Chain A
Amino acid sequence: MKYVDEFRDGTLARKLADAIAREADPARNYAFMEFCGGHTHAISRYGVTDLLPANVRMIHGPGCPVCVLPIGRIDMAIRLALSHPDVTICTYGDCLRVPASDGLSLLKAKARGADIRMVYSAADALALAQKMPEREVVFFAIGFETTTPPTALVLSQAQALGLANFSVLCNHVLTPSAILTILESPEVRELGTVPLDGFIGPAHVSTIIGSRPYAFFAEEYRKPVVIAGFEPLDVMQAIRMLIRQVNDGRAEVENEFTRAVSEEGNLKAQGLVSEVFELRRSFEWRGLREVPYSALKIRAPFAAWDAEAKFGLEFVSVPDNRACECGAILRGVKTPIDCKLFGTVCTPENPMGSCMVSSEGACAAHYNYGRFRDIPVVAGTAS
């Protein structure tokens, strides 16, 4: 496919790997966090780690919307669906299997009789409400800045149509506040257990918000940020650009993904989002706990389409399964193989934690593409 295959070219990948090896200073270590699950997926799927010198380490960040959704938010949807037989919940496919309280997930609640459906887009949820005027259709909306504009769009369409049987249970979260929380976390600031020399910035999130919001991290925290596309060569070029910044002692925002990301982003989408949503004071993230001003809620003029207001839904915080290490993995402190449940009790078919659910989760990515690398027989590399 055009603009996909060229960015997966194996010969070029080897050349980029050589360039990285040449430019990385053997006398020091480099640790970069890829914020987005899309990058985590590309790194695992294409074996990018194997192409990097031993002193260049990638740390998986929290940028998968399914992984960071706390149990309590899914419980809200399940409680609503089970207690209101006239309610139909629709959501993106990945949300369905995330483990919630009482051994339930949205999918298991469906098996108990709740009307829960998978949709491909927010528009499908709105169309469903128009098709079934006798039912209450609730769109369980999750995602970073990429999925937020479509949700904003259907909310303003529902208002324009006066569509009374449609509402949104809003779980949209913001990328810059999550990055800030990582930089402020004790592991990074004081304990030094997570050395961070820079970030690979989000690809598609940045198509919407632009590259400017990251300037703060470069200036205030002296951390280089390189925004990169989701193909393997994009990731490798970004790593190379980060290494150069570290070597030069620079901390800047650079953009590898200029084919889709501009400095100011998509102003039309931004306008729509700010018309419909406002900041929440605080929002719980899986792995990061309560993060101030890190999520969006529906503005008062749209209250009639806000499922939380309409059905009086309350969020109750629920601790994660004790054995699951998702929280530490999302903060970059642990890796999937540090979890006792990995690959035994917890698999993509039967996930115990959220990181095993979506293909962009660190555990699922490692299970699907990386787990055989852990077998010691293949560990010896030529030096």
Chain B
Amino acid sequence: MCLAIPARIVELLPGDACRVDLGGVRKEISLALVDGAQVGDYVIVHVGYALSKLDEEEAEQTLALFAEAGLTGSSLAAAADEGAA
């Protein structure tokens, strides 16, 4: 029951509520626990409440870290050298 998913806000509704899009499914959830969420933002939704905003820049950086894993040992060392220089 801990599973929660990122969803995009498509409409702000009265009373701290909003409508989110979950892979095509629209759902009404509460924004009472997060401040300043706007249409277009991604939020982590759990039991009907947004728990936090999703930082899109950080998401891209995490994906970039995964991609770095694809580098072979030697190119990794080279990348590390460059980083140190």
Q: Give chain A's interface residues, CB within 8 Å of chain B.
A: 1-4, 6-7, 9, 12, 15-16, 18-19, 22, 36-38, 41, 63-66, 92-94, 120-124, 143-144, 146-147, 149-150, 153, 203-205, 207-208, 230, 233-234, 237, 240, 256-261, 266, 268-269, 272, 358-360
Contacts and interface: CB of A to CB of B under 8 A. Distances in A.
Interface string B48-70: 11011111101101110111011
Interface in B4-26: 4-6, 8, 22-23
A203 B51 CA distance: 11
Given A38-B2, A259-B56, A2 B51 contact: no
B2 A63 contact: yes
A67 B27 CA distance: 28
A259 B54 contact: yes
A3 B6 contact: yes
A149 B32 CA distance: 10
Q: Which of B2, B8, B48 has the most CB of A within 10 A?
A: B2
A170 to B, nearest CB: 15
B51 A92 contact: no
Given A65-B2, A260-B6, 9 more contacts: A18-B69, A19-B69, A147-B1, A147-B46, A153-B49, A230-B2, A237-B66, A266-B34, A269-B51
Contacts of A203: 2
Nearest to A15: B70
12 contacts: A1-B5, A9-B66, A63-B2, A64-B2, A120-B47, A121-B49, A123-B48, A143-B2, A258-B55, A258-B58, A266-B33, A272-B33
Contact of A204 (B2, B34, B48): B2
Which residue of A22, A260, A359 has the most chain B CB atoms within 10 A of its CB atom?
A260
A164 B38 CA distance: 35
A360 B1 contact: yes
Interface of B: 1-6, 8, 22-23, 30, 32-35, 42, 44, 46-49, 51-56, 58-59, 61-63, 65-67, 69-70, 73
Contacts of B56: 259
A38 B44 contact: no
B80 to A, nearest CB: 13
B33 A259 contact: no
A256 B32 CA distance: 26
B49 to A, nearest CB: 5
A327 to B, nearest CB: 20
Given A272-B33, A360-B1, A92 B47 contact: yes
A123 B50 CA distance: 13
Given A123-B30, A204-B4, A149 B49 contact: yes
Contacts of B62: 234, 237, 256-259
B69 A2 contact: no
Nearest to A124: B48
A268 B35 contact: yes
Given A65-B1, A121-B47, A143-B1, A3 B54 contact: yes
A123 B5 CA distance: 19
A233 to B, nearest CB: 6
B32 to A, nearest CB: 6
Contacts of A64: 1-2
A207 B6 CA distance: 12
Contacts of A15: 66-67, 69-70
Contacts of A7: 63
A66 B3 CA distance: 13
Nearest to A39: B2
A12 B71 CA distance: 11
